[in-house]
A and B are shown apart, each in its own frame.
Chain A
Amino acid sequence: MSHHTVSVELENKPGALVRISQLFARRGYNIQSLAVGPTERPGISRLTLRVDCSEHTIEQIEKQMHKLVNVLRVVELLPDESVERELALITVGAPPDRRAELIALGDVFGARVADIGREALTFEIVGRPEELDAFEELVRPHGVRELARTGRIGLRRPGPRQSRAQAALT
């Protein structure tokens, strides 16, 4: 078992997304996250899927998805060769005397305060999914009231292969 991120270009037709989720359900593949939205081309959506499975299964998934009439392209996003981001909203318990501490913590992660209530505040954080995981861990002791994540989206890096310098950048 290992993590895989798959990027799918899909014609934006009725039922196109259902066909993909149906394929996963029927063949017993487990989706960790799924994010879908428009691309640079009108009428074409990009789907980013995160799955935990074996190499054999990911190969099967790609081949099976290729056969769907509305699917234009399927690529696996390899960690070294792609950029991945995710957005999370996290509402944390924050009585007035803990607020400053929490906001400072958020600053370290580049998490913005999206809303403040009397006893809680909501962070918005964008970053690599692993950074979001780390932030979530850190605020957990303060009491996470609610949390929503978009699921990762990703693109291949523009260059053919990333350099060390690029790797350091992310």
Chain B
Amino acid sequence: MTRMLGSDAILRSLEAEGVEVMFGIPGGAILPTYDAIARGTTVRHVLARHEQGAGHMAQGYARASGRVGVAIATSGPGATNLVTPIADAWMDSTPLVCITGQVYSRLIGTDAFQEIDITGITLPCVKHSWLVQDVREIPAVMKAAFHVARTGRPGPVLVDIAKDAQEAELDFHYPDEVDLPGWKPPTKVHERQVREAARAIADARQPIVYAGGGVLNGDACAELLELIESANLPSVVTLMGKSAIPDSHPLNCGMPGMHGSKFANFALNKSDLIIAVGSRFDDRVTGKVSAFAPGAKVIHFDIDAAEVGKIRSADIPVVGPLKLALTQLTSELKTMLAEKPMQTAAWHAQLDEWRGQYPYKYRKGTPGSLIKPQLVMETLRDITAGRNDVIWTTGVGQHQMWAMQYLQCDEPRSFITSGGLGTMGFGVPAAVGAKAARPDATVICVDGDGCFQMTCQELATAALERLPIVVVIVNNGWLGMVRQWQDLFYSERFAETHLTKQVPDYAQLAEALGAAGFTVDHEDDLESTLRAALEAGRTAVVDVRTDPEENCYPMIPAGAAAVDIIEMPDEEEVPS
């Protein structure tokens, strides 16, 4: 027991949790805690330029490291600026502890300066939240916050701490145990269910693993690999699951869904058994649910019981930690297969045929034509080939989908993107956070010109905090993905989607923010400039000016069935 201030207790709690770094911006209601930072702590503070940036940095940190990310902000606008990252972390199950200052207890409820009910605002998108008004609650609440954020299905929590609680004294003791009688995430799996799952797999003729972000969150990448290799199981991998098994693995059939390949969509939709692992039948994957994989039985593995049967009913539900479930499954399955091997040769032959038939494709540029965005991805892929130290982050839009289609990610946690919420502006700050988690890594953000303009101020953070990242802007001059929908579904009425390629001048903007700026207009300069940026040794931005009319294919229109997939139109149909 040590006598100390609440503000110091917050930091001692973070230290006790092993937190290395927090991302934030100070302000009135959190000032006592910043003063405690000045008094000294082992936790590094990274000063963001916008609380949204701080939140996405904490997410990038969490996603790259598998640990809990920490963001800190003041009351009122500081707290509301954190709402987008909290919602993003909620949708993508990212463990996050957000600490906000709150006005003095005696002012709560009076509409005091910078008073906002942030626990109320964030209610729909946190696992739990606490409003701390009694200084003595700080250690137990901090302990509980980290515990809830990381256990079960990970996600964001919020700790809102009144200024008087930060300023008051307490006898500090960090508890060893949490006192949360109502928090009981599953720690075991039902053996009988696992055995049933193994039997269904052994009997299947056209099985497909449908792996999602839960595999990464559940730290079950090695176990999944072991499963698919031991039973020769093909697997599709969702956007959130990308990098859970190597993209280069012969059993990886790529991404299903709206902009996934025809191959992956066929593999999933024409299977007779879907083995869902940490995936949630998101509408961007299933399209029209009633038409989704009509002939498939479903085994659903998830830590969150509420995901099982939510969208698609599960014939065999298996709730529990994926690491454990998959280990048990593989061992059961191996025993069964020793007696009777899988009968999936015809299915594999079919998959091979589709793989050959339906690669991602685009029409290459001609000499002097505008750079094709897909070529940017291919070049990035090629110049980083064979490296295991690259982490990619992305914005949201066409560039994100091309990044998903073309980049090769063989190491777990090497692809960090905003999936469920689809938050423009995620890429740059997430990259800064990833770099803080993995200083040894080369962190590359593939961004859109629209996305970049939402959070580019965090380049200053990257530059000054010595967290160098490389940002590659696919500058098509448009809010490209929206333009694509207008092109395809709104008779080419391009309302309010034109940004221009010239304003701002991204290279100059980068320089102004303390980064190196590059501009590429011609295909011939693409590779050398990207290499130069990677070798710059500091934060660098490459503005690659691309063909604005390029659409992302294939595409399953929202609400349509996978069989209605639109492929790239023939040459003559392409708008000129």
Decide if B222 is an interface residue (CB 8 Å cutoff): no
Are the CB atoms of A15 and B119 closer together than 8 Å?
yes
> Interface size on A (CB < 8 Å)?
19
Are the CB atoms of B304 and A72 closer together than 8 Å?
no
A69/B124 contact (C-beta < 8 A), A60-B306, A60-B310 known? no
**In the complex, which range does the number of interface residues on chain B fall in?**
20 to 34
Decide if B246 is an interface residue (CB 8 Å cutoff): no
Looking at the complex, which of A18-26, A97-105, A118-126 is the stretch in contact with chain B? A18-26
In the complex the two chains form, what is the Cα distance from A69 to B131 in whole Å?
14
B129 to chain A, nearest CB (A): 8
Are the CB atoms of B124 and A22 closer together than 8 Å?
yes
In the complex the two chains form, what is the Cα distance from A11 to B182 in whole Å?
8
Closest to A44 in B: B181
Decide if A164 is an interface residue (CB 8 Å cutoff): no
* Contact indicator per residue, chain B 97-138, by CB within 8 Å of chain A (1) or not (0): 000000000000000000000011001100111010000000
Residues of chain B contacted by A19 (CB below 8 angstroms): 123
In the complex the two chains form, what is the Cα distance from A142 to B128 in whole Å?
50
In the complex the two chains form, what is the Cα distance from A11 to B123 in whole Å?
17
Closest to B309 in A: A59
Residues of chain B contacted by A60 (CB below 8 angstroms): 306, 309-310
Are the CB atoms of B306 and A69 closer together than 8 Å?
no
* Interface core residue of A66, A67, A70 (most chain B CB under 10 Å): A67
Are the CB atoms of A72 and B124 closer together than 8 Å?
no
Decide if A3 is an interface residue (CB 8 Å cutoff): no
Closest to B307 in A: A63
A72/B181 contact (C-beta < 8 A), A19-B123, A26-B124 known? yes
Decide if A71 is an interface residue (CB 8 Å cutoff): yes
Are the CB atoms of A69 and B309 closer together than 8 Å?
no
* Contact count A vs B, C-beta below 8 Å: 40
In the complex the two chains form, what is the Cα distance from A15 to B129 in whole Å?
9
Decide if B183 is an interface residue (CB 8 Å cutoff): yes
B130 to chain A, nearest CB (A): 9
Residues of chain B contacted by A56 (CB below 8 angstroms): 309, 313
Closest to B157 in A: A69
For chain A, residues 59 to 102, give those with C-beta under 8 angstroms from any C-beta of chain B: 59-60, 63-64, 66-72
Are the CB atoms of A66 and B124 closer together than 8 Å?
no
Closest to B125 in A: A26
Choose among B183, B304, B305, B313 the residue that contacts A69 (Cβ–Cβ < 8 A).
B183
Are the CB atoms of A14 and B127 closer together than 8 Å?
no
Closest to B144 in A: A69
Closest to B308 in A: A63
In the complex the two chains form, what is the Cα distance from A78 to B181 in whole Å?
25
Decide if B574 is an interface residue (CB 8 Å cutoff): no
In the complex the two chains form, what is the Cα distance from A56 to B309 in whole Å?
8
A68/B123 contact (C-beta < 8 A), A56-B309, A60-B310 known? no
Are the CB atoms of B180 and A69 closer together than 8 Å?
yes
B155 to chain A, nearest CB (A): 10
A120 to chain B, nearest CB (A): 39
In the complex the two chains form, what is the Cα distance from A15 to B152 in whole Å?
22
* Interface core residue of B129, B148, B181 (most chain A CB under 10 Å): B181
Are the CB atoms of B305 and A72 closer together than 8 Å?
no
* Interface core residue of B123, B131, B148, B152 (most chain A CB under 10 Å): B123
Are the CB atoms of B131 and A14 closer together than 8 Å?
yes
For chain B, residues 346 to 368, give those with C-beta under 8 angstroms from any C-beta of chain A: none
Are the CB atoms of B123 and A69 closer together than 8 Å?
no
Closest to A21 in B: B123
B436 to chain A, nearest CB (A): 29
Are the CB atoms of B309 and A18 closer together than 8 Å?
no
In the complex the two chains form, what is the Cα distance from A67 to B129 in whole Å?
13
* Contact indicator per residue, chain B 177-215, by CB within 8 Å of chain A (1) or not (0): 000111100000000000000000000000000000000
A111 to chain B, nearest CB (A): 39
A11/B181 contact (C-beta < 8 A), A22-B124, A60-B310, A64-B306 known? yes
B96 to chain A, nearest CB (A): 16
Are the CB atoms of B183 and A18 closer together than 8 Å?
no
Are the CB atoms of A71 and B305 closer together than 8 Å?
no
Are the CB atoms of B148 and A63 closer together than 8 Å?
no
Are the CB atoms of A70 and B305 closer together than 8 Å?
no
B485 to chain A, nearest CB (A): 26
* Contact indicator per residue, chain A 23-38, by CB within 8 Å of chain B (1) or not (0): 0001000000000000
Choose among A22, A59, A70, A72 the residue that contacts B123 (Cβ–Cβ < 8 A).
A22
Residues of chain A contacted by B306 (CB below 8 angstroms): 60, 63-64, 66-67
In the complex the two chains form, what is the Cα distance from A63 to B124 in whole Å?
16
Closest to B152 in A: A67
* 8 pairs, A vs B, C-beta closer than 8 Å: A26-B124, A67-B304, A68-B128, A69-B127, A69-B128, A70-B182, A71-B182, A72-B182
In order of increasing CB-CB distance, the 4 nearest A-B pairs are A63-B306, A69-B128, A72-B182, A22-B123
Residues of B that sit less than 8 Å from A by CB: 119-120, 123-124, 127-129, 131, 148, 152, 180-183, 304-306, 309-310, 313
Residues of A that sit less than 8 Å from B by CB: 11, 14-15, 18-19, 22, 26, 56, 59-60, 63-64, 66-72
Taking A14-B131, A56-B313, A72-B181 as known contacts, 4 extra A-B pairs with beta carbons closer than 8 A to each other, sorted by chain A number, are A15-B119, A22-B124, A63-B305, A72-B182
